Amino acid sequence: MDITEHVYRLAIDFIQVKNIPPDPRQRLPYFQAFKKLLREEKEKIKSWHRSGTGGREIIQAHTSLVDEVIRHVLLSMTQLEVYAKADVLDDFSLIAVGGYGRGELNPLSDIDLLFLLSARPQPLTETFIKDALSVIWGFDMEIGHSSRTIKDCEKLAREDLTIKTSMIETRFLIGSRSTYEKF
């Protein structure tokens, strides 16, 4: 058997999608184009599964797809004039948590994200995070999210075992690597 036919490769050509319009009211064509590319890619993963590929490979492929979409959105947003000179990605680490953090995102699962904030994030960072989430939601992705400092995470982990468990299974996506390493 040719093993290369069962190796998933991300095939979204992000160049096909124009830059994110700065005005949220003008983003519908962007969302439509991006959702079309996502549908096509998810269809490839689905057909790959139907051809006999195992569940582990499918969830890894789906996880990889979501990783790349989220990274692309955040990097694209840093190009918007309002964020271009602010270095907002230095203010937080975007972390996958729970099953997504393990790299096991099932196709119908929600995407759990933690925006791990630096000790003193700039005011624009909160706006950036809200804007990024609205773009991701525009792709009809189910996102569970929180924005916390390391201190907040430590406090909540002591109070809630579910939160503590989800923070054990994490994976860095984008942003400040040093903030993530302190976590």
pLDDT single digits (tens) 119-157:
888 889 999 999 999 888 888 888 999 999 999 999 988
Give me the pLDDT at residue 96, please. 96
Top CATH class of 3-182 equals alpha beta
For 4, residues 6+ apart whose C-beta sits below 8 A from its C-beta are: none
Strands 92-97 and 170-175: antiparallel
Give me the pLDDT at residue 20, please. 80
Q: Domain extents for the chain? A: 3-182
Alpha-carbon distance of 81 to 90, in angstroms, equals 17
Alpha-carbon distance of 148 to 92, in angstroms, equals 9
pLDDT single digits (tens) 47-87:
888 988 888 889 998 899 899 889 988 988 898 888 888 88
Q: How far apart are the first and last CA of the chain?
A: 44
Give me the pLDDT at residue 118, please. 86
- Residue 57 near residue 8 (C-beta atoms within 8 A): yes
- Please tell me which residue, 172 or 85, carries the higher pLDDT value: 172
**Can you tell me the mean pLDDT for 153-167?**
87
- Residue 129 near residue 115 (C-beta atoms within 8 A): yes
Beta bridge partners of 111: 143
Give me the pLDDT at residue 1, please. 31
For residue 98, is it left (φ>0), alpha (ψ between -120 and 50) or beta? left
